């Protein structure tokens, strides 16, 4: 009986066969190893790389370029104007090790895909990466995705494409235009005004807008006017308000520019009219009942997100974009790992994919019911100037509700994600429906009044989102049931004084809105523009509004005189349109650069000869330098004004500028001065700090309390309303005063903040302890 296992040979022939078999297997293994080379995917950020690698699996390695790897040199102009504006690109300093590592990974990769962000900047980064890694830009090496989800990433890998060189040219043209203005005009400002300044194609126009608005405010003359309201009743009904709208057939107005309006200029006129009005018989002239539908707003674009986040959350543009980037790149969701929560946050489109519409419809039907879902998906028109390259900003899945993600997101991430989630969900819902009632009232033969009421009949999209312009849901304004001919009784007259107000200073929301409306820059550039003009000292943010500094006025006036185009709104907007045409392949970048550069260079030469040294006005304080005895002067720095010795550089003494409020400290009798936190928020404290610790967020007033004689404080609410109250906690005027609840809330928030900071510090100490234990 043969006991040899099947397939095994004995003797010398068998040994030779075994050796041959082993050699064959070794070769096979070597070939297998060669075949299992991975595909390299290069993205921009490490957070994104981590999320994408999880979705693609073991056959892929995902690396981050950390943004741009090549750029124009900082130490040189870097553009050869004489030879078709040829740019000189160099590897960015400090990126050498990263470039070396990427080249090594590329050498060991079977395929290479460049997956930088899906915009012009991302296209240019891919183009530079292709140069560094030795790839042909015309080969299928570029992949793009609008959201970091598994289906989107896997679909992108299936459809690689060549690099879009027209978009690369548009980015290069923008970069070179900014370099021409910055590197040619900024040295002029250094020579004529002071070192460290800069001018920019977009930033200078933005500063001009803020300066022009400030001049409007300074030149504005306020006019007094009055309005008259009445509290009315029908029989024993609840009171409702009606407002005087017509007198002698003329519309009651703020100003009378054409002789067809009626204006109450002063108290005497208002009281005389109110007295006459109160003597008239009031009759319902007309009742109009109707149904009003309010449609939901479109999903967010970059611009509308920045505006709504500023308006509703108080976020500055930079903070909004930083948080949005984090949500896009991926957040750790427990066992699910890093997950992208929103689509790409740099977009000017309100378009939504059909897949997202269908998913939203299913979610809304399940959670809200059929009456909240329109028969056909809501379609929103994108502006004519929009590039429409990407979808609107939306959650990658409505199933990721803010409630479910609360434990994974920090406070600010959750606020912004909730805003995006609610806005998108609302955009796919039915309109809100209101029953409205408009009542026209006749008072004698001279006067006409109007009362308006509304009641929410069907919540529609307001079930999840209050709306772009409001922070709270609208309240019902109810009117009693009335019919034509009903007589009304006057319960109270309400004459009210007003003053015309100047245009408001820009805040983050209104500045972004204006830049978008005037087509200055692109939404993705708004946040860095706002940061730059503050860093240069042209503008400062005071109480969430932008105010130009003296330096800002000086620079803008100089640019207006000698470089009209640089600070011209229409010229800058037209340049943006031409950059769009380059991206669409309609215009060559060198043509645009030549048309801009030739007249600019001539103007620069003339301006250099014509402009003398500009002396900035110096504000001398009454504070003496304790080192050399000179009177210190007020200087403008990155974080606001400060005092500096005019003897610089011999004497370098500086100190904070303390603005006296004219009020004495209740603790020690010293002056209460205006101070600022590290983040620039204004508060008030005793000049004798740290010996005296008196501080308050509210503005001290020189006005005294009638009851106890203590100074008053002015509290500012977020909606702009102010409230005066006595600074003495024990004053009888403070009993049941509404400010008490507000101050208690502020104390609770401060305590909660201190507690969170203490917990973070304790956690950090504990983590350090673990690390040192592991190392030991």
Report, as residue numbers or ranges, the catalytic residues. 344
The number of C-alpha atoms within 13 Å of 726 and in the hemisphere containing its C-beta is 17
Residues 6+ apart with CB under 8 A from 694: 665, 666, 667, 668, 672, 685, 686
Calculate the CA 671 to chain-centre distance.
37
In what helix (H) or strand (E) does residue 358 lie, and over which residues does it extend?
helix 354-367
Three-state DSSP state, 361:
helix
CA 591, 592, 595, 598: dihedral to nearest 10 degrees?
-90
CA distance 511 to 513: 5
CA distance 394 to 400: 11
Q: How many Cβ atoms sit within 10 Å of the Cβ of residue 246?
A: 17
Question: ω into residue 18 within 30 of 0, thus cis?
Answer: no
Apex CA 367: angle with CA 366 and CA 368, to 5°? Answer: 105
The token pair that represents 212 in the structure block: 């022009």
Residues 6+ apart with CB under 8 A from 72: 78, 79, 87, 88, 89, 90, 175, 176, 179
The number of C-alpha atoms within 13 Å of 438 and in the hemisphere containing its C-beta is 5
- CA nearest 85: which of 606, 601, 603? 601
Roughly how many angstroms between the first and final C-alpha of the chain, as a whole number?
Answer: 66
DSSP secondary structure, 166-221, as one string: HHHHHHHHHHHHHHHHHHHHHHHHHHHT-TT----TTHHHHHHHHHHHHHHHHH--
Pairing of strands 250-252, 261-262: parallel
CA distance 453 to 232: 14
Residues 6+ apart with CB under 8 A from 719: none
Q: Are 460 and 297 spatial neighbours (Cβ–Cβ below 8 Å)?
A: no
Residues 6+ apart with CB under 8 A from 430: 371, 372, 373, 374, 458, 460, 461
Would the CA dihedral through 692, 698, 703, 709 be positive or negative? negative
Q: Are 66 and 46 spatial neighbours (Cβ–Cβ below 8 Å)?
A: yes
């Amino acid at each position: 009986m043969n006991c040899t296992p099947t397939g095994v040979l004995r003797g010398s022939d068998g040994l030779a066969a075994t050796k041959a078999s082993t050699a064959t297997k070794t070769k096979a293994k070597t070939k297998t190893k060669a075949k299992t080379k991975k595909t390299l995917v290069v993205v921009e950020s490490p957070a994104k790389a981590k999320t994408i690698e999880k979705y693609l699996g073991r056959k892929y390695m995902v690396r981050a370029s950390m943004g741009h790897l090549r750029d124009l040199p900082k130490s040189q102009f870097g553009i050869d104007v004489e030879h078709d504006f040829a740019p000189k690109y160099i590897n960015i300093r400090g990126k050498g090790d990263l470039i070396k590592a990427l080249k090594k990974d590329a050498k060991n990769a079977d395929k290479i895909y460049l997956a930088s962000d899906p915009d012009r900047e991302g296209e240019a980064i891919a183009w530079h990466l292709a140069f560094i890694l030795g790839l042909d830009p015309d080969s299928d090496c570029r992949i793009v995705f609008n959201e970091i989800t598994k289906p989107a990433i896997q679909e992108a890998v299936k459809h690689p494409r060549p690099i879009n060189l027209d978009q690369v040219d548009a980015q290069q043209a923008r970069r070179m235009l900014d370099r021409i203005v910055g590197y040619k005009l900024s040295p002029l400002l250094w020579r004529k005004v002071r070192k460290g300044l800069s001018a920019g194609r977009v930033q200078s126009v933005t500063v001009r807008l803020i300066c022009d608005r400030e001049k409007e405010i300074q030149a504005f003359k306020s006019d007094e006017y009055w309005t008259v309201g009445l509290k009315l009743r029908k029989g024993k009904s609840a009171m409702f308000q009606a407002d005087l709208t017509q007198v002698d057939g003329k519309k009651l107005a703020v100003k009378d520019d054409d002789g067809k309006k009626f204006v109450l200029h002063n108290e005497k006129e208002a009281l005389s009219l109110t007295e006459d009005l109160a003597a008239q018989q009031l009759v319902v002239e007309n009742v109009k009942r109707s149904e009003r539908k309010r449609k939901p707003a479109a999903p967010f674009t970059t611009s509308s997100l920045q505006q709504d986040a500023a308006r509703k959350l108080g976020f500055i543009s930079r903070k909004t974009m930083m948080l949005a980037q984090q949500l896009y790149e991926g957040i750790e969701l427990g066992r699910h790992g890093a997950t992208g929560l929103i689509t790409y946050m740099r977009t000017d489109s309100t378009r939504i994919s059909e897949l997202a519409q269908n998913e939203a419809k299913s979610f809304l039907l399940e959670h809200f019911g059929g009456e909240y879902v329109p028969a056909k998906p809501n379609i929103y028109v994108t502006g004519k100037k929009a590039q429409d390259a990407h979808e609107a900003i939306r959650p990658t899945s409505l199933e990721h509700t803010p409630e479910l993600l609360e434990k994974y997101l920090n406070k600010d991430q959750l606020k912004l994600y909730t805003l995006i989630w609610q806005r998108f969900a609302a955009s796919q819902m039915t309109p809100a429906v209101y029953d409205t009632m408009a009542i026209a009232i006749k008072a004698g033969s001279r006067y006409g009044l109007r009362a308006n009421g509304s009641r929410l009949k069907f919540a529609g999209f307001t079930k999840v989102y209050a709306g772009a312009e409001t922070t709270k849901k609208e309240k019902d304004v109810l009117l009693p049931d009335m019919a034509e001919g009903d007589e009304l009784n006057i319960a109270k007259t309400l004459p009210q004084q007003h003053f015309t107000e100047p245009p408001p200073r820009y805040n983050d929301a209104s500045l972004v809105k204006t830049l978008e409306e005037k087509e200055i820059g692109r939404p993705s550039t708004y946040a860095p523009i706002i940061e730059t003009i503050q860093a240069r000292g042209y503008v400062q943010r005071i109480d969430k509004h932008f105010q130009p500094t003296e330096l800002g006025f000086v620079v803008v006036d100089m640019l207006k005189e000698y470089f009209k185009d640089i600070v011209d709104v229409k010229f800058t907007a037209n340049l943006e349109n031409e950059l769009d045409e380059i991206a669409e392949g309609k215009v060559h970048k060198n043509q645009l650069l030549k048309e801009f550069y030739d007249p600019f260079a001539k103007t620069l030469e003339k301006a250099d000869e014509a402009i003398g040294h500009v002396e900035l006005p110096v504000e001398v304080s009454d504070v003496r330098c304790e080192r050399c005895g000179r009177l210190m002067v007020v200087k403008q720095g990155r974080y606001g004004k400060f005092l500096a010795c005019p003897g610089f550089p011999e004497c370098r003494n500086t100190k904070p500028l303390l603005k006296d409020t004219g009020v004495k400290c209740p603790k020690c009798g010293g002056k209460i001065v205006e101070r600022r936190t590290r983040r620039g928020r204004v508060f008030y404290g005793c000049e004798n700090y740290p010996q005296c610790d008196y501080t308050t967020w509210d503005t001290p007033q020189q006005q005294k309390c009638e009851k106890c004689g203590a100074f008053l404080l002015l509290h500012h609410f977020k909606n702009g309303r102010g409230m005066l109250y006595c600074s003495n906690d024990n004053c009888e005027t403070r009993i049941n005063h509404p400010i008490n609840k507000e101050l208690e809330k502020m104390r609770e928030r401060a305590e909660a903040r201190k507690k969170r900071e203490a917990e973070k510090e304790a956690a950090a100490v504990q983590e350090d302890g673990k690390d040192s234990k592991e190392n030991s």
